[in-house]
Amino acid sequence: MTTETGADAKAGTGEQGLHRGLSQRHLSMIAIGGAIGVGLFLGSTVTIGLAGPAVIVTYLIGALIAMILAYALAEMAVVHPVAGSFGVYAEEYLSPWAGFAVRTTYGFIQIIAIGAEVTAVAIYFTFWFPDVPQWAWVSLFSVVAVSLTKEPVARFGEIQYWFSLIKVVAIVAFILVGAALIFGIGPLPAIGFGNLTAHGGFLPNGWRGVWLALTLAITSYMGVEVVAVTAGEAERPEVTIPRAMRTIVYRLIVFYVLAIAVIVTMLPWIKTGTGEVTGSPFVVAFARVGVPYAAGIMNLVVISAALSSANTNLYTTTRMLFSLSRGGYLPSALGYVTRAGVPLFALLTGAAGMLAAIALAIVRPRESFLIQYGTAVAGMFFVWIVILLTHLKFRRRLDPARLAGLPLRLPFHPLPTVAGIAGMLAISLATFYVDGLRYTIPAFLPFLAVVTLIYFSRRRGTAS
């Protein structure tokens, strides 16, 4: 017998004040806005350096894992369309601790990721203004991100739709222009495919490099879960969520794999895979092939992409803090909602990562991006593993008739879910061998211990 009534009851009481103003096109573009960001436009500098041209294979493997998670999450979101999303699902199907831990972790890492996104904007601006201090750009765009996210949800969805559309159009244009340069369509001579095998061959660092690159490549897909987080404010979630999830997954696979393939084909991988996060390889690619104005236009695009991702991360953080507050885990003030349906104090709390980004931009500007992004990586691995574990229990307890009626189902259950969990655990272990990520897991474990202590202390306090 199905047990969705517990989470449905939470939806009835804990979501009061939020507005269902997000359509399918909003959901799709918000998810794309969260996923297409610094992981692709900036982090690919590191992934290319680790895998060489074989980074194409790395992104294909990452896409497979992301598809498993997306389908699993879509199933649960259709049955339980609540703002707490996978936090509520984990509480319902695993344990109250799991629900608290995954929501707290997700909120924390999104706060850190917001800081990483606005830091990326500052890095991009050095392309035009190398002498302006990084903290100035971080401060400016932090204010912009908060201002955009405090809009009513329908207006926010519209803003993110157009921001994300810029990303999509730019990536398509990049792929088309890159393909034209590779095949010699136009006035410039054909680049050809020699760069895929030059400088050490297609696998210059072996299959080990392909796997190590997954530690950051997989983060490029981390954002597909945003569709489930928006479920509490989605119109007709039983229809819009599955469609949006299919759209985001397939678009990301095409965009990421083709875009990365174009980069490593256009230029020798040793030129774009420097390992130093000082600019986007997308901008470097156009700057080096000599297409007039293309590098500047692409830089403008990656700036809008980072700002869009910061907005999306701030949105999801706000909804997670709101969900924890309404669930009694955080102060009730974080559950306050304005007349426009915006959890205002949760929004301001979520903006704390931007203050940390400003401080890091002052004291350690060169390392600030990887410090923040690396900190968020381990927490996101934990979140994805918990989501997949939850899906195993969800399927076990779901009524067969309800399962048959789901508009989107993950086939061959439970093999894909188990494979996804194993893959995420293996990728987590690989972080110990990647510069800049070696301490992400050790740093996350004390945080998880503190979260656990907070949970049990509050539980004892409630019981007494």
Q: 437-464: b or e for each residue (b if 16 or more CB lie within 10 Å)?
A: beebbeebeebeeebeeebeeeeeeeee
Cβ(147)–Cβ(13) under 8 Å? no
pLDDT value of residue 415: 96
CA atoms of 327 and 83, how far apart (whole Å):
11
Cβ(84)–Cβ(327) under 8 Å? yes
Q: By three-state DSSP, how is residue 240 classified?
A: helix
CA atoms of 258 and 260, how far apart (whole Å):
6
3-state secondary structure 157-194: HHHHHHHHHHHHHHHHHHHHHHHHHHHCCCCCCCCCCH
pLDDT value of residue 2: 41
pLDDT value of residue 452: 93
Helices 86-93 and 96-125 pack at an angle, to 10 degrees, of 160
Q: In terms of DSSP H, where are the helices of 218-293?
A: 226-229, 237-266, 269-272, 281-289
Cβ(316)–Cβ(114) under 8 Å? no
Candidates 81, 330, 57; CA nearest to 210 is: 57
CA atoms of 139 and 152, how far apart (whole Å):
23
pLDDT value of residue 297: 81
CA atoms of 84 and 140, how far apart (whole Å):
30
Candidates 140, 96, 143; CA nearest to 122 is: 140
pLDDT value of residue 306: 79
State pTM to two decimals.
Answer: 0.79
Per-residue model confidence as pLDDT tens for the chain (464 residues)? 344 445 554 444 455 544 444 555 556 666 665 566 666 677 778 888 899 999 999 999 998 998 899 889 888 888 887 766 788 899 999 999 999 899 888 878 878 878 888 888 888 888 888 888 888 888 888 888 777 766 665 666 677 777 777 777 878 888 888 888 899 887 778 889 999 998 899 999 999 999 999 998 888 787 777 766 665 556 676 777 777 777 777 777 787 888 889 989 988 888 776 555 556 777 877 777 666 777 788 888 888 777 777 777 787 778 777 777 877 777 788 877 777 677 778 888 877 878 888 888 888 877 777 777 777 888 889 999 999 999 999 999 988 888 888 888 888 999 999 999 999 999 999 999 988 788 888 888 898 999 999 888 877 766 55
pLDDT value of residue 392: 96
Region of residue 17 (left: phi > 0; alpha: psi -120 to 50; beta: else): left
CA atoms of 137 and 120, how far apart (whole Å):
10
Q: Catalogue all structural domains in the chain, each as residue range(s) with its CATH number.
A: 18-455 (1.20.1740.10)
End-to-end Cα separation, the chain, in angstroms: 34
Extended strands (E) in 269-361:
none
Length in residues, the chain: 464
Cβ(393)–Cβ(91) under 8 Å? no
Backbone angles phi, psi at 4, to 5 degrees: -75, -5
**Residue recorded with tokens 């692409």:** 298
Q: By three-state DSSP, how is residue 291 classified?
A: coil
Query: Encoding tokens for residue 381?
Result: 């691995």
Positive or negative CA dihedral for 346, 348, 354, 358? Answer: negative
pLDDT value of residue 385: 96
Q: Tell me how far CA of residue 315 lies from CA of 103, 115, 229, 379, 384, in angstroms.
A: 14, 14, 9, 18, 19
CB atoms inside a 10 Å sphere around CB 61: 17
Looking at residue 80, the DSSP 8-state letter turns out to be -
pLDDT value of residue 144: 81
Helix H or strand E segment including 391:
helix 368-397
